[in-house]
């Protein structure tokens, strides 16, 4: 569903189940195994919501009773592109929903001299321009890395309207900055936090997602 006042932002239904899952992963006392388990559940919901927005075309099949069923088929192929490293945590959720899906990777890190994001590595499917792309990164804070990664995709020929940016938590500032650059990219998220602190971390946030998923 769309959420106002953000155009092209699709927020998961804020059900008791979803809020409960976020309560667990936001809790600083949650163990790493539990953080991974419940984050994976949210990621699966995000992927399924992203799939809901892909275009389809009519397709009629015959059932085992030899009767027609008027259904639909997805139009075109998809792929996932994770922003290393935290975005890699979302790859398995995509694979759980889409068998044999292609996965690309983009590595962006902060330049120590300029403090700005810098592209270090990219590996993308050769036919990515013909695919719908799920861009994967758990957090959208300032938007710097997401903007650079999206720019890489567009330079490789992907149309903005074919990009779906999936993340667990956004900030309003990040949404505004990202959509100022790419208004036609759809954001699929589970939470919109109230802002950023002086260190540019999401508030209330959940800490460093990559550290909690991979290290602690």
Q: Indicate which CATH number applies to the domain containing 199.
A: 3.40.50.2020
Q: Examine the pLDDT at 109 and tell me if it is beyond 50.
A: yes
127 flagged as catalytic:
no
Structural domain boundaries, residue 89: 2-56+68-214
Within a domain: 202? yes
CB 209 within 8 A of CB 82: no
Active-site hit among 111, 127, 197, 211:
211
Within a domain: 187? yes
pTM of the entire structure? 0.92
Within a domain: 62? no
Give the per-residue pLDDT at 3. Answer: 47
DSSP 130: G
Phi and psi at residue 65, to the nearest 5°: -90, 10
211 flagged as catalytic:
yes
Within a domain: 112? yes
Mapped onto helix, strand or coil, the DSSP state of residue 49 is: helix
pLDDT in tens, 121-174: 999 999 999 999 999 999 999 899 999 999 999 999 999 999 999 999 999 999
Within a domain: 186? yes
194 flagged as catalytic:
no
Within a domain: 175? yes
70 flagged as catalytic:
no
High-pLDDT (> 70) share of the chain, %: 94
216, two tokens: 């602690």
Q: Domain total for the chain?
A: 1
Other C-beta atoms closer than 10 Å to the C-beta of 173 total: 17
pLDDT in tens, 194-215: 999 888 889 999 999 999 999 8
pLDDT in tens, 6-26: 789 999 999 999 999 999 999
Give the per-residue pLDDT at 6. Answer: 77
Active-site hit among 27, 34, 110, 200:
110
């Amino acid at each position: 569903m769309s959420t106002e006042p953000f155009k092209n932002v699709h927020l998961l239904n804020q059900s008791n189940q979803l809020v409960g899952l976020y309560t667990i992963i936001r809790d600083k006392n949650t163990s790493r195994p539990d953080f991974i388990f419940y984050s994976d559940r949210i990621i699966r919901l995000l992927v399924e919501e992203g799939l809901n927005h892909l275009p389809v075309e009519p397709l009629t099949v015959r059932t085992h009773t030899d009767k027609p069923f008027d259904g639909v088929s997805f139009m075109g192929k998809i792929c996932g592109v994770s922003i290393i490293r935290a975005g890699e945590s979302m790859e398995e959720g995509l694979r759980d929903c889409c068998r044999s899906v292609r996965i690309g990777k983009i590595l962006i890190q902060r330049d120590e001299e300029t403090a700005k994001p810098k592209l270090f590595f990219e590996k993308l499917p050769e036919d990515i321009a013909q695919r719908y792309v799920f861009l994967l990164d758990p957090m959208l804070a300032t938007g710097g890395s997401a903007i650079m990664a999206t720019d890489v995709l567009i330079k490789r020929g992907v149309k903005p309207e074919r990009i779906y940016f999936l993340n667990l938590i956004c900030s309003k500032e990040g949404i505004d900055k990202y959509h100022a650059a790419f208004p036609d990219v759809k954001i699929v998220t589970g939470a919109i936090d109230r802002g950023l602190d002086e260190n540019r971390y999401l508030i209330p946030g959940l800490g460093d997602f990559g550290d909690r998923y991979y290290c602690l």
